[in-house]
Amino acid sequence: MGQVFELQAADAAGRIGELTVPRAGVTIETPTLLPVINPHLDTIAPRRLADEFGAEALITNAYIFHGSEDYRERALAEGLHDLLDFPGAIVTDSGSFQLAEYGEIDVTTEEILQFQRDIGSDVATPVDIPTPPDVSRERAEAELATTEERLAVADSFEAGDMLVTAPVQGSTYPDLREAAGTRAASTGLDVFPVGAVVPLLNEYRYADVVDVVAAAKRGLGPAAPVHLFGAGHPMMFALAAALGCDLFDSAAYAIYARDDRYLTVRGTRHLDELDHLPCSCPICVDHGAAGLRDLPDDRRETALAAHNLHVSFAEIRRIKAAIREGSLLELVDERARSHPAMLDGYRALLDHADQLERDDPASKGTFFYTSAESARRPEVARHHDRLDRLSVPDSLFLTEGPDPPTDDYEETWRVVPPFGPVPSDLSRTYPLTAEVPTRPDRPAIEAAADGVSRLVARHPDARVGLGHRGWPADVLATLPDDVELIDGDDRGRTR
């Protein structure tokens, strides 16, 4: 891959990066959002996107310019930057979307790349085949082979200082996505869209989106800048960012506004349902719900589109702040409560805890246990791995609170759900400085018990006692038989 992306900070597999776009003469801080501009529908002018919303890049479709006689000549004569009046980076798509919708297009990869170069695109896209979810494996493989032939054409195309993307396809086959990611990263191409996830997003199949992206990321590796193509709803930005997606594009802000749909980070509302607006952007403050409803159609559409963008960019800023402070998974956890399908997505993310763990920094802010899912966070698995490397005295009392029954244990360590045993000399290190509820839930207790079992299994000759506070009998039954148990519970914990 090219050398245009630099990582600055990480949290889970999420990261803050810098993408240098030489042709535009700009460096973009990621994660970021690229508003989609359709030249035929000027909902919010590109200049306003830059000045008012801070958009550092936008995306438009070169195929639309190519197919319109008027726009084609103007784009070739003036260049996209002057034609659109946008000072940031301009990314162009190639017509793959039209290919997916209508079955064919009338340009080759070489022609459309040359056209993108001629109209002054900063980041161009070859014509890949966006294979939908759930197709036969034969079709997914055949279309992936075609996409990769076109990536080879793009790789040898004389792009000058224009960046070129390498879309990663493979339908819903994780092994195909991973292999496609590996091969894409081995080209000299620069930016890596994970393609054809829109049908999954439209059906709220967030767990499948997670599996597809995680597979592509395994192949691409951490150094590749990744664009989650077609993901424009702010509700799922944090989830995708935690997987290591760096670029998002939004057509949703404008499309939703057309139908009076109001985006929030907890889902979409129809303007008619809202008495009060849960937002303090300038549009919402100035108009209020009734004021927005009373606007004439065209002004209401523009106002809603502006709100939709404000809420989307605010979420991007919130994600960056969370990555900096190491609380991205807590933000994902919060967003996961907005819809059961989002919760599935978060749970699928935690199925890839090993993969997240590889990129996650060893030390960050304070771990907050905010839901049962927190027990499956990569930090818990990492602590359990670390238990394997600890030396243990001949006799050790592990305790959640009750005192040891006798003083003949050589050492006493605390037990903290979900981490399990916490040696005294590690108790001030991340993640053991965690804030956890005083009433742990069952998944936390189960994880703590796993930690105890792991330590005992590693040190079969040590004598180990456990002082717990009312752990359920079936969880205690998972512990090795020779662990001496003391129940110190007098709180009647619910379980």
Binding-site positions for substrate read 128, 196
Which of 279, 356, 445, 466 forms a contact with Zn ion (CB under 5 A)? 279
Please count the helices (runs of H) and the strands (runs of E) in the chain. 20, 18
Strands (E) located in 237-344: 247-250, 261-264, 267-270
Which of 284, 322, 342, 447 forms a contact with Zn ion (CB under 5 A)? 284
Regarding 257 and contact with Zn ion (CB under 5 A), the answer is no
How far lies 231's CA from each of 92, 93, 273, 385, 404, in Å? 16, 14, 25, 35, 54
Contact region for Zn ion (CB under 5 A) — 159-167, 217-225, 276-284, 478-486? 276-284
Known binding-site residues equal 128, 196, 279, 281, 284
Structure tokens at 286: 């100035």
Phi, psi of 168 (to 5 degrees): -105, 115
Structure tokens at 101: 């919708």
Q: Are 238 and 267 in contact (CB under 8 A)?
A: no
93 is a catalytic site residue: yes
Contact region for Zn ion (CB under 5 A) — 3-11, 228-236, 273-281, 484-492? 273-281
| Ramachandran region, residue 296 (left: φ > 0; alpha: ψ -120 to 50; beta: rest) | beta
Q: Are 37 and 68 in contact (CB under 8 A)?
A: no
For residues 456 and 483, what is the distance between their CA atoms, to the nearest angstrom?
Answer: 8
For Zn ion, which is the closer residue by CB, 269 or 493?
Answer: 269
Count of residues that interact with Zn ion, criterion CB under 5 A? 4
For residues 209 and 303, what is the distance between their CA atoms, to the nearest angstrom?
Answer: 31
DSSP state at residue 260: T
For residues 162 and 159, what is the distance between their CA atoms, to the nearest angstrom?
Answer: 5
For Zn ion, which is the closer residue by CB, 307 or 364?
Answer: 307
Helix, strand, coil in percent for the chain, rounding step 5:
45, 20, 35
CA distance from start to end of the chain: 51
Regarding 281 and contact with Zn ion (CB under 5 A), the answer is yes
Scanning residues 299 to 358, which ones bind Zn ion (CB under 5 A)?
A: 307
Q: Are 219 and 168 in contact (CB under 8 A)?
A: yes
For residues 364 and 376, what is the distance between their CA atoms, to the nearest angstrom?
Answer: 18
DSSP string covering 350-381 = HHTHHHHHHHS-S--S--B--SGGGGGSHHHH
Catalytic residue among 42, 51, 93, 259: 93
Regarding 376 and contact with Zn ion (CB under 5 A), the answer is no
Query: Which positions are catalytic?
Result: 93
Residues that bind Zn ion (CB under 5 A): 279, 281, 284, 307
